Structure 1
């Protein structure tokens, strides 16, 4: 897919809103990927310098560290910005959403291996996904969860360290089941 089609897809995924910081961070990411296609190193050097400057600005203004080495699927959405750190060897599937304060990266310094995230994964604010783990398709990661182990398809990960829950209706409490706790006495 060409860089212009990717940017258009990112723009649509961000509700066609040019002012969304996540969209601008993705444009810098796409530019960084595109420059690798320039084969003569001498011609690529000015684009690499421009990418480094834009990447620094993206980190400084948006609070999003998204290196161009990350593998992103289509329709990746950065819902809220600030404090987002993604390791360069992380992999994301299609239709993923991340929010502010998310870290996707290494579990220990000096050890390679970042998470591999499936399709349609929704990552809550402040969540940390660390180490060489696999996150399945159709997974929800709760806010502030610390995920250190694999998460199967169709599950929810919540807590510190994260517990894995099924998304089946009998496993997830309903609003009605907990209403007596919400009544003010």
Structure 2
């Protein structure tokens, strides 16, 4: 088996630590047999890894399935439930507010930065007046208005791209959580 696939299995095993060793071994064997079947279908290692997805998410899904499908009480199951719901809850507490704030702020700052560079450069060019409240610094160096405008455009584009990326991550996170929630509701019915 490929080194990449072995690393993937080790990562999944590492994230299944709340489970007893026998259950972890069963899950890893199941994933390994799926990998072998995909190799027999002549899929590359990268294609197999792409199909399986993120190893942390796969382990989290197995933890969630074991927690929701188990009928009896046991400390291992209780600890697995705590680990699963803590990870899901904590990620929601951190990810949603951070991305929801960062995305629009980066986009807004990315739009305003070149405008301020243009205002400073235009004031110096047309009115021979240097607006001291608007300055562009690159480390300890304060840039002149022409270089500051170019710098502002570059930084503005980068901020807009970062904002768009953060927004796409936010939408992806919300869709993923919605799919997981729908999947859990189907299991209950």
Q: Structures share a fold, TM > 0.5?
A: no
TM bucket (normalised to shorter chain) is under 0.3
Higher strand share: 1
The structure whose Rg is larger is 2
